[in-house]
Structure 1
């Protein structure tokens, strides 16, 4: 068992990711899923057995004072159920807000003559504040510390009945509007685009459609080749699409009244790694008298368990064209009537993957280098230890992996060594 600490400060199973992937023929996703389900059940059973043994032992040790067991149970339930809305950690300004996104400015009044940086956070049913998760775990702060002081991020607004028909074209237009705002009054016409997970493939699409507006492109944990490597998400989408088309996904969207419920996405993450969920809550019981551990648990759970819906039209589009069709790699993807051609990109490219990321394995990210026209000497690949969420909020990644990447980005952005000293 592990302690109740912040993501990526400890072993991989503290993160809600899939179990270790069995080595199977990647052309047989059905066989992979069968093995995956068996391994998941085995790990969940082990975690449940170990957790039950600990709870029983703890209860017996306190049998002489039964009120202590009741008190501990009440405290444990209060922490498990007491969710709050997640918050941003660093002071910043909201530049504008639309029904589907906000633009947040972390520049703090900086007027340095540097290319602005725009972050596109993940969009998978969670709050975008993952990029500014905690005072010591902030991607936005790392960007600024590299000398990229004109720093912005989009903040995806949860879908409503009014926005359930949002399309990928709408999101591309929002990115374009954010770029306009970021470069306004700077004398620059392009930005450093940073895309995390789903924000990564959207960044790649935008960059391919508007290569003149992108100075550098950084992709972290971003699926570009959705069929590379073995993942439960990729395998299940291929199996379901072959047997039923998009019907299962349409059914989920219908249950969400036209939106993909964020709770469904969360349930999927938990189902892929139930042993992590069990271990996390047993560890909470272990550390009920440790205020720092409790605070870390609450901060993560507040973010992880606070969900927001994804527009149904947008979600079904990405299932059909990216998860099932893999059209960003095949070259068949069309957005706004224009083919998305990664070869249109020749800017510096920075790629970051997680060594044990079973949501988006590194190969899915690194395949971007095969599609672009960027010369090899301007393509950087880094593999961080740890898994998916740790790439964006983990202490290790934010201390060791992101700073050198952002330092290189700064080198292409008018930042001098003196300005970062």
Structure 2
């Protein structure tokens, strides 16, 4: 048999293109069929092993939700770092990843090393994974799942009492809205949360682009989900959800995915089988769970409207209650959760960015240009860029002033200012946005009015089904009929058919082994192969045209039915009714709370600690543009770690101070600025704060005109010399180089340092302090007493800058030349130490508060 196969496989020397192509086609077909056979076997083996998570990491289950008072088929697993990753540090902020239970099994968040879990482990963070089992518990509901996730988060917090903040929790797809529910009910358990590809505003979308939102209306509402649960004998088969996903892109489902395997069968086998192991593992939900999801979320859209309550009816689920920063990651290439569905909950809850600030909420969103829905979780490029930058910037995000920001991630280059302060290949900054910017991503929200009619029709049809149809369907359903229907689902039947269960495929394996031994692939320039590619493109175009025509027809039918005045009148709605307002429940109690808050903070304009003075100065200068960059944050964080100041200021204290000072500056800029001298009473501290602000701003490049003007106003209020505020750092360095040596006891302000020397000096600070910084232990006789200048460098280590007059342009050109020796004022690590507030002056927490978690590299004032 093998010898005959080999004979047929050998192409005679000088054979024609036709012979080469058909031999390759025959061999390729055998190998393709063998991979499909292997896929079927993987499907069967995975099912018989209990469908464990498809994680590439070892893990240990530490809490089994099936053993809780209200059982749920969920579990909390602790991820074990592989040898390629550093050991996890229990004092670092823990990461928790919640995978979606949307038809498939768990594991997509740790599908490969370059993944959400992999990024956390590579940075040394403890990582936990919320997994689930194939079969739900008999009486399980969404409330049971929520309570289980609450227990999991309590366990993670218990295991890491010394972490610098609450856990960072990632919710993928449907795991995202589940996370939002838990964070709204138990805000004290979570730190920053990331909603990755998660729909929260289910009616949103762009006309002609997002047809999936019309499905519920075209099916007459939610009764179809109840029917699927009834024929499943009380359980909903997750394969139905997978079927719906696959119909969104028939070209990929019926042709491209399989043709890609056929075309690259020699190299695509491993990747194909790895993905299919997860894609073919279908899980089960209880009928009650699926009914709650469809009736309250997908069709009802009650989450952002504030119409959801806990199972006992005592607590309303209000997204306003989330206290930690919310990060949203969406993509324009996602046809399942488009950006509008991921972001329109923001205008549902808030009229303007001022409302967000009043609620003391921080929201950050990031939009990818083209990656698809699954790529948000499995793409290595997304993991090493967006997910890695979110993880790296967690500390900064946690102390951002309340507001709405867009995360902008840019690649670096050798000339990037402050390159040493960029942790990794990219630089992330947070640009302020308004609610109008979110609305601009949509084509208007008038099209959502029709979904009010859909919701009402769904309620009527659901009532009719529950009373007149459901009892009969349940009477004819049992475990055997449910199992038969599941096995006949194309998602399962097709895989079982192409497996070793089918005796007609038993000969495929030995033939495929012989083909691999005598494989002769055709050349890419073969004319027949090029014709094959053209034919494949034609099939793809035909299927895409079918999809576009189908979607357009569905949208037209939906609008014709649900936008008609007669149907709205029949279900008791007025056709011109405005889209339902969200949970903006401004009451007397709400207004009174705001009034009392303003009254309580009123005295803070003229009163506060040294820390509050530093932060107010920085916030005032930076608030002109509102852009927050990671480089100044990372620069001052390193200095704080070296000086030990990160042990004296807790994260919670820093966050509250930033919120307070931002509120005061936004409420009354002039009064906040006028109050700075009362916070920074010592002239020496004023110079320190002012100099530090300039140096941090220059890490990002030239200071903008707006910030220069604000610096000048600060200098005027603090009675400081502002002559060099707008000049280039190199120009100031050149001018200072020409000055005579300083006189002992001089306490003049040192000129800020250029960003590139800054980078070099701070890079070496973590290992050893420059020797020159240790040679001036004796202060001059005229220096201030220690109590007034604690934390500063001795006067002998400073050099007096040039007179406060504009530096000529020629000085800027001259300063561009290389400097042979680094002057004392370019030693940024020592300089930044001298301008930081000393540990002895660190504020004490108010009475009644216990500060337990020190900031991990979080200095005062890096939030802007």
The aligned counterpart of 2:233 is 257
1:64: Cα distance to partner? 6.2
Residue 158 of structure 1: SS of its match in structure 2?
coil
The aligned counterpart of 2:102 is 124
CA 1:124–1:352: 2 relative to 1, 3 Å: same
1:212: Cα distance to partner? 1.7
The aligned counterpart of 2:306 is 331
The aligned counterpart of 1:94 is 61
CA distance in 1, matches of 2:361, 2:293: 32
1:362: Cα distance to partner? 1.3
Structure 2 stretches lacking a partner, 5+ long: 1-16, 47-52, 67-72, 82-86, 399-650, 652-854, 859-864
CA 1:369–1:75: 2 relative to 1, 3 Å: same
CA-based RMSD of the aligned residues comes to 2.7
The aligned counterpart of 2:789 is none
8 Å Cα contact 1:146/1:403 also seen in 2: no
The aligned counterpart of 1:306 is 281
The aligned counterpart of 1:39 is none
CA distance in 2, matches of 1:184, 1:281: 48
2:42 to 62, 83, 95: 83
8 Å Cα contact 1:168/1:335 also seen in 2: no
1:178: Cα distance to partner? 0.4
Residue 192 of structure 2: SS of its match in structure 1?
strand
Bigger mean CA deviation after superposition, 272-281 or 107-116: 107-116
8 Å Cα contact 2:103/2:237 also seen in 1: yes
Structure of larger gyration radius: 2
The aligned counterpart of 2:392 is 407
Residue 107 of structure 2: SS of its match in structure 1?
helix
Give the TM-score normalised by the residue count of structure 1. Answer: 0.76
1:117: Cα distance to partner? 2.3
CA distance in 2, matches of 1:343, 1:208: 7
8 Å Cα contact 1:360/1:388 also seen in 2: yes
CA distance in 1, matches of 2:197, 2:240: 21
Does residue 114 in structure 1 map to residue 92 in structure 2? yes
Measured against aligned partners, the alpha-carbon deviations of 1:367-399 in whole angstroms (never above 9, x if no partner) come to: 344437754993221112311111011112111
Residue 328 of structure 2: SS of its match in structure 1?
strand
8 Å Cα contact 2:94/2:167 also seen in 1: yes
The aligned counterpart of 1:134 is 112
The aligned counterpart of 1:363 is 340
CA 1:178–1:64: 2 relative to 1, 3 Å: closer
CA distance in 1, matches of 2:24, 2:318: 68
1:335: Cα distance to partner? 2.1
8 Å Cα contact 1:83/1:305 also seen in 2: no
CA distance in 2, matches of 1:301, 1:368: 33
Measured against aligned partners, the alpha-carbon deviations of 1:307-347 in whole angstroms (never above 9, x if no partner) come to: 11122211110100000110111111112321111111232
CA distance in 2, matches of 1:113, 1:77: 47
Bigger mean CA deviation after superposition, 325-334 or 368-377: 368-377
- Point out which structure has higher relative CO (alpha carbons under 8 A, 6+ apart): 1
1:107: Cα distance to partner? 6.0
Residue 93 of structure 2: SS of its match in structure 1?
coil
CA 1:178–1:340: 2 relative to 1, 3 Å: same
Residue 350 of structure 1: SS of its match in structure 2?
strand
CA distance in 2, matches of 1:303, 1:393: 11
The aligned counterpart of 1:289 is 266
Residue 367 of structure 2: SS of its match in structure 1?
strand
CA distance in 1, matches of 2:160, 2:229: 42
Measured against aligned partners, the alpha-carbon deviations of 1:38-64 in whole angstroms (never above 9, x if no partner) come to: xxxxxxxxxxxxxxxxxxxx9986546
The aligned counterpart of 1:32 is none
Structure 1 stretches lacking a partner, 5+ long: 1-57
8 Å Cα contact 2:32/2:265 also seen in 1: no
8 Å Cα contact 1:94/1:103 also seen in 2: yes
1:271: Cα distance to partner? 1.7
Does residue 104 in structure 1 map to residue 71 in structure 2? no
Does residue 246 in structure 1 map to residue 230 in structure 2? no
8 Å Cα contact 1:346/1:374 also seen in 2: no
Residue 126 of structure 1: SS of its match in structure 2?
coil
Residue 335 of structure 1: SS of its match in structure 2?
coil
CA distance in 2, matches of 1:186, 1:169: 26
CA 1:327–1:377: 2 relative to 1, 3 Å: closer
Aligned length: 352
CA 1:70–1:233: 2 relative to 1, 3 Å: closer
1:80: Cα distance to partner? 4.7
CA distance in 1, matches of 2:129, 2:203: 28
8 Å Cα contact 2:28/2:262 also seen in 1: no
The 5-angstrom pairing of residues 181-192 of structure 1 reads: 181-187=155-161, 190-192=166-168
1:119: Cα distance to partner? 1.7
CA distance in 2, matches of 1:377, 1:207: 13
CA 1:335–1:283: 2 relative to 1, 3 Å: same
